[in-house]
Structure 1
Amino acid sequence: MKTVFRLGVALSVMAFAATQAHAQDTTETDEGNGVITVIGTPSENYFSRSAEVGDRLGKDILNIPRSVESIPEQLLTDQHVRELSEIYRYSPNVAISDGYGGTREDYLIRGFRRRDDVYRDGVRLKTNNTVDPSTVASVEILKGPTSDIGQMTPGGLVNYVTRRPKLDPAYRAEVNFDSRGERQGFFDATGPLGGGFAYRVAGSYENGHTFRQYSDQERLFAYGAVSWFGDNGTEIRTSFEYGDDSRALDRGIVTVPDPTGKYARVVADVPRKLSYHSPFTQRDADYIFASADLSMPISEQLLFEAKVVYYDENSSDVHVEVGGILSDSTLVRYVQGNDDRDLKTQFYRAQIRTSEGGIGPFSAVIGAEYRHQTEFWINYRGPLQVLGTVTDPMSDLLVNDGRDYVLRNKFDVSQTDYGFYALTDITLHETFVVTLGGRYETYKGAFDNGSLLSGAISAMDFPSGDKFTKSGAIAWHPTPETTVYANYSDTFQPASYYANNPTIFPAQNGRMYEAGVKQALFNNGLMITGAYFDVKQDNVVENVDGEARLTGGQTSRGFELGVVGSPMKGLNLRGGVAYVDAQTVSAIPADDGLRPRNVPSWTASLWTSYEFKDPDHPLVGLGFGLGATYGSDRWGDTRQAFMIGDYTIVDSSLWYYIPLGSGPQLRLNAGVKNVFDERYYTSAGGTYRIGVGTPRTVFVGLGIDL
């Protein structure tokens, strides 16, 4: 009943916004004296119809025969997003996973976990860090695999698109605060340099804390890019980015035996701020990212494109793990950490594709990619510390004795892959398009691990493997505003080189069948989507009676319905509802058929905002947003010993633009996250690793646009 009430309140306010929008004049400019004054947010900031993943041919999202969505930067601004995990839950069938104590990107798409790696401008990057939203121009979420990308988990991927130089000058600066300790400043500037050159510089600094004990956080981000736009359509872009992130590695709270006997365990009923880690817990990470892009016409119908990326990340951490709880509620903990973690990635791409319109009935791209990654780190663990209880952990008395090594191991892992891919659209009729794609990829890896205490070594240089992945789709366009599609894609993942197992296993396999409909309404201002999917992964290594077998896997079947767009001036909508039946496939009877941990069967969300646009209206420049997200019950571990429950989170936002002459404007914003102060858990990383959702939080900000 409480959930229904909260959703009802949210939907009632949303309905009121829609009626106000319909009643208003849609004029956005004032030309009374020959001067055009635009007050507020440009409407195009809310709705993106392009995506860099899911299609290499530059098509409108409406015409891409698969599920892909683009979340623009403006939505992140209105919702005051400080971590990308906040925005993921507004996408159907996307949920949050453990994230190594909140220090890494970690999410599930259609029931499949994707951790430690994200895509940046279409390039796969493993990272031991979170993405600073200050670098993001938009977030793209691709549902399911796509063969031309190569190895990936079959559930899908997240790609974030970075800010890019523009010839039209624009400047923005803002400061933000919240009631839980956030203090952050940000600036962004772009414009022409002359001679076809344009620049972009952006940066942010944050120094604060969260609602959790011992949760200080400091984050620095700086970005610079230069582009050259040639008269013949050539574009060259170079960029450089530096980031530094320090925060607590927070394992959350713990579970205890269930006194009712309904489940084996339940989440401990303790204050949300209570921490089982100590004040010395810290994760420090810094990185540099450099890239160069080239797009050059080589004929009237062909483009040559190239990309080079270099990424170097260094990190270290010291944190506290709960190893057990004694029968009298006494905690058994230990200090663990990682030293000298160094992660490097090199990436190269070259491709030729047809320009807009293609060649006759064909639009195509053909290319090659190379990726090399190395990672080194030293992991250590200290002795057990028996101290405190579940309700009174006495965490400030823990000793940082991790250097009294019980374990100290070094890990050195490398992997290389390169592939050739092709993708083509064939227009059989003006209403029928067939898409075919494939990729042939070669991969190899090695590890050189060992104990620094005993001197024991475990090393393996794996032989090269290769895999061909393929995809096909058909799209029917009965009207220019309608797409009915069906597709098939398969993918793979090499057996993990991080498993410290010298046995050679074949790659994991993944495949997906999907069928759906996309419909544009309100003069292409609103898009409604629906899809049914059937995703499967097999050939996963599992331990059966002490023997490694290729009998593991997972299946996920379900549907998604979504709506996004601006049906009328000033009104913006984004929402969806989804269901997934995710099941583990295993030769172990106790595991077979179970729903994976952290996966909700049902997810739903709706965010709506409205901004007064009529220059004659007394409230011109005032905007407000209201949204709600829902996730059904989730299991907290693979054997379903405990649940972390469902959640219904309501967020609100309010902003007001004050014009400063004919161009510049101030933006005042405020809002409340988790309006009803719902107690919920974001994810579970195990029996003693339950992530705690943020309580009600009030935020305010001041920005200026020039």
Structure 2
Amino acid sequence: MSRPAFRLLPHPLALALLLALPDAAAQAPTEGREPEATELDAVKVFGRAQTLYRSEDAAVATRTDTPLALVPQSVQVLPRELIDDQAAYDVTDLYRSISGVSYFSYAGVTLRGFRQENVLYDGLRGDPYAGFSVPQLFNIERVEVLKGPAGALYGGGEPGGVINYVTRKPQRRALRRVEVSLGNEDFAAGSFEATGPLSDRMRYRVGLHADGDEGVRWNADSESRIGDASLAFDVGVAGEFTLQVTDIEQNLGGNRLRGVPATDDGAFLTDRRWNHNEATDFLDMDARVALAQYRVSPSTDWDIELSARWFENSEHQIYHEPMGLIDRDGDGTAEWMTRQLRNQLRDNEGLTVAGNAVWRFSTGAVEHKLLFGADGYRLDADFRAQTANSADLASGAGPVPGIDLFAPAYGLSSYLDYGLDALPWRGTSTRGVRYGGYVQDEIALTPRWQVLAGLRWDGFEDEDRLGGGRVNGHDLSWRLGSTVVLREGVNAYANVASGFVPQATANQDPAAGGPFDAERGRQWEAGLKTELAGGRVMLGAALYRIERSNIVQATGEVVDGVNQLAALGLVRSEGLEIDLLADLTERWVLNVAYAYNDARVVEAGSNGITNASGDRFANAPRNKLGLWTRYDLPALSSAFGFGLDYTDERLSLDGQRVAPYTVFDLSWQTTLGPWKFQANVKNLFDKVYAASGFTERTGHFPGEPRRLYLQAAYAF
């Protein structure tokens, strides 16, 4: 498929705003008048770690303003400073800094042992990258990770936790920034951002980003564009109304990317750049998002928030799916990858509405922070597909040729050669509705002892709009936790929380044994959150156990030609997480995230548990260590950074070994007045490794080879 060359063009709206905004006028002292002496308030000096990488702003954990140190649950926040230092362009660049998180596939991760793909934006459902695209970070201010079941606040979701992306909003201080980046593999990117006041009661933000890359897999190029604009209005004395629109486009050539075939011991059978796709294959995604949010604090006792988020996402992909290796030339080595051609279209449209309020009051000497609210989410998902089969299998007479594993000859055929116009279409059309209400009380029993209790009721309805089937139900989630201040800077906490996941609509067929109650998850967690050495060292530790039950699996029995299902599954995940953020000196910052996890199947049906191999979960490493350290050189207005990412041995979905790996990164940055220059080297020693495993026929996902990024930014 012919694609236009990468270009970054100035947007007319951006230019108009740029020209219209006046510079702040400098006010000179009146001539002949002595300057008045001003008594300044005492200034608290924070260490580099706290000013660079620490954030207490994480409303995802409780939907209130409670400091993270007092939240009885493990929560991590990755602020924009860390994102910029690591030159993280998409979310996969950040996994080293989140304890308990490792790569699974595309935008999916393993979180506390369980595969996780659902995310939130500004605390609301509706992922514009839904499908096979990876969330980009250009318009993201910070990433928040709430560990464990989050059903008491957010309804049904995987028990490992939830990831929330907080988007960038208009600021009261004027700032404009232009950035250009270059790198190997013909990488180029450019962006423009501007924010500031339009009047005393109105603020704006506009952002434009574009990038292009030839890619590290053969035939796999990419282009992305993001446009983001928002306005914020002061309403009355204490209210703020924000409107935001975002447009996203991704064009990925030679996609959808699968892995590279590997031995059972985890070694790639061929070059890590090998691709099963032709250059004419593609994955094109377009998405649009609109957010409206109103926040008001009518008094010191009340906070109120109302939000609505709408998105639509269209994804078209034509690609060659690897179907397994065969020994075509009879030399005893399977060298020929058979392939299907898949033409797939996905359209998603979702709407979330939510409202909550916080009421602060006292009953005698006991202080309360009462949260209550409700939300609803509707998702319409349409899928259409065609398939052309392999020409290289005795069981099929399809037109699609395979590709050699060791000497691939690309360009001999394309999707235009397979007669797609004559192939039948198959498809699905579904509507999923989620709605619920919740209440939560944070109780300060004493200045050193706090208790959190939350309860949520959820209803759901799934509709097959083609077949006419409909499934509905409801469930309860809850959480109970407590934090005790042992001494200043040392807090101990414990919690128990529940969550649930509605069963897939396809599993609710009465002929197969359905309908079934939702899957249940429960977590027990205890930990410490400490500030030591006068606040220079922040250390968090968490021990947890998560159990997931009522998992629907095949029983192996067939009744009237229908495979029977039953709620047979029970799985357990146990682990330890340690997070350290420290000022080693006044110039030297260290950030460490370590996790140990043992996720196992306790009870399974005859066909095993989805996303597991035997009694172990796929892509769930026992040990994972991420490190990032930064050393500042004030005399040179510069800073050096160094990163390490270690991931232990794992299993693929088919039980193949995924070898452990360690990769290292370097960064350097310097500022010259309004200019900032930065260089990042990722995978410094060009390590060949698998980021995760999938199936035997699709192979392991290779990690990126060494990448170099150079960046120049000008702020004005």
Q: TM-score range by the shorter chain?
A: 0.7 to 0.9
Question: Could you say which residue in structure 1 is the equivalent of 2:482?
Answer: 474
Query: Is the CA contact 2:508–2:516 (under 8 Å) kept in the aligned structure 1?
Result: no
CA distance in 1, matches of 2:220, 2:69: 43
Question: Could you say which residue in structure 2 is the equivalent of 1:145?
Answer: 149
CA distance in 2, matches of 1:202, 1:305: 25
Q: Quick one: which amino acid aligns to residue 505 of structure 2? A: Y
User: What's the offset of the Cα at 1:568?
Assistant: 5.0
CA distance in 2, matches of 1:419, 1:590: 34
Q: Quick one: which amino acid aligns to residue 491 of structure 1? A: G
User: What's the offset of the Cα at 1:268?
Assistant: 3.5
CA distance in 2, matches of 1:569, 1:292: 42
What is the count of residue pairs matched by the alignment?
Answer: 634
Query: Is the CA contact 1:521–1:567 (under 8 Å) kept in the aligned structure 2?
Result: no
Q: Residues 39-438 of structure 1 correspond to what in structure 2 (within 5 A)?
A: 44-99=51-106, 105-115=107-117, 117-126=118-127, 127-128=130-131, 129-146=133-150, 147-230=152-235, 232-248=237-253, 249-255=255-261, 258=263, 263=264, 266-328=266-328, 329=334, 330-339=336-345, 341-354=346-359, 361-386=367-392, 387-400=402-415, 401=418, 403=420, 408-438=425-455
User: What's the offset of the Cα at 1:379?
Assistant: 1.7
Q: Secondary structure at the match of 1:133?
A: coil
1:705 aligns with 2:715: yes
What is the aligned counterpart of 2:523 among 488, 512, 516? 512
CA distance in 2, matches of 1:645, 1:357: 56
Q: Secondary structure at the match of 2:82?
A: helix
CA distance in 2, matches of 1:654, 1:446: 53
CA deviations 1:532-570 (Å, max 9, x no partner) are: 000011111111214211112421001011112556544
What is the aligned counterpart of 2:621 among 592, 596, 600? 600
User: What's the offset of the Cα at 1:358?
Assistant: 11
User: What's the offset of the Cα at 1:346?
Assistant: 0.7
CA distance in 1, matches of 2:162, 2:595: 17
CA distance in 1, matches of 2:419, 2:56: 51
User: What's the offset of the Cα at 1:682?
Assistant: 1.3
CA distance in 2, matches of 1:472, 1:253: 42
CA deviations 1:73-120 (Å, max 9, x no partner) are: 121111111221110232111011122xxxxx21110011112x3211
Question: Could you say which residue in structure 2 is the equivalent of 1:14?
Answer: none
Q: Flag the 1:589–1:505 CA change in 2: closer, same or farther, 3 A.
A: closer
Q: Quick one: which amino acid aligns to residue 579 of structure 2? A: G
Query: Is the CA contact 1:284–1:315 (under 8 Å) kept in the aligned structure 2?
Result: yes
Question: Could you say which residue in structure 2 is the equivalent of 1:25?
Answer: none
CA deviations 1:295-334 (Å, max 9, x no partner) are: 1123331122111111111111111111121134222111
Q: Secondary structure at the match of 1:255?
A: coil
Q: Flag the 1:402–1:410 CA change in 2: closer, same or farther, 3 A.
A: farther
Q: Secondary structure at the match of 2:420?
A: coil
Q: Quick one: which amino acid aligns to residue 366 of structure 1? A: F
Q: Secondary structure at the match of 2:411?
A: helix
Q: Flag the 1:376–1:565 CA change in 2: closer, same or farther, 3 A.
A: farther
Query: Is the CA contact 2:175–2:194 (under 8 Å) kept in the aligned structure 1?
Result: yes
The two structures have a TM-score, normalised by structure 1, of: 0.86
Question: Could you say which residue in structure 1 is the equivalent of 2:672?
Answer: 658
Query: Is the CA contact 2:361–2:368 (under 8 Å) kept in the aligned structure 1?
Result: no
User: What's the offset of the Cα at 1:524?
Assistant: 3.3
Q: Flag the 1:407–1:333 CA change in 2: closer, same or farther, 3 A.
A: farther
CA distance in 2, matches of 1:172, 1:426: 44
Q: Flag the 1:470–1:433 CA change in 2: closer, same or farther, 3 A.
A: same
CA distance in 1, matches of 2:597, 2:710: 37
1:541 aligns with 2:573: no
Paired-residue identity, % = 23
CA distance in 2, matches of 1:407, 1:52: 49
Query: Is the CA contact 2:438–2:456 (under 8 Å) kept in the aligned structure 1?
Result: yes
User: What's the offset of the Cα at 1:192?
Assistant: 0.8
Q: Which runs of 4+ in 1 moved over 6 A?
A: 356-359
Q: Quick one: which amino acid aligns to residue 680 of structure 1? A: Y
Q: Flag the 1:308–1:351 CA change in 2: closer, same or farther, 3 A.
A: same
CA RMSD of aligned residues (A): 2.3
User: What's the offset of the Cα at 1:188?
Assistant: 1.5
Q: Quick one: which amino acid aligns to residue 125 of structure 1? A: G
Q: Mind listing any 5+ residue stretches in structure 2 that lack a counterpart?
A: 1-34, 38-47, 329-333, 393-401, 558-563
Higher relative contact order (CA 8 A, sep 6+): 1
Q: Quick one: which amino acid aligns to residue 174 of structure 2? A: P
Q: Quick one: which amino acid aligns to residue 109 of structure 1? A: L
Query: Is the CA contact 2:241–2:295 (under 8 Å) kept in the aligned structure 1?
Result: yes
Q: Flag the 1:552–1:397 CA change in 2: closer, same or farther, 3 A.
A: farther
Query: Is the CA contact 1:529–1:563 (under 8 Å) kept in the aligned structure 2?
Result: yes
User: What's the offset of the Cα at 1:194?
Assistant: 1.1
Q: Secondary structure at the match of 1:166?
A: coil
Q: Quick one: which amino acid aligns to residue 557 of structure 1? A: E
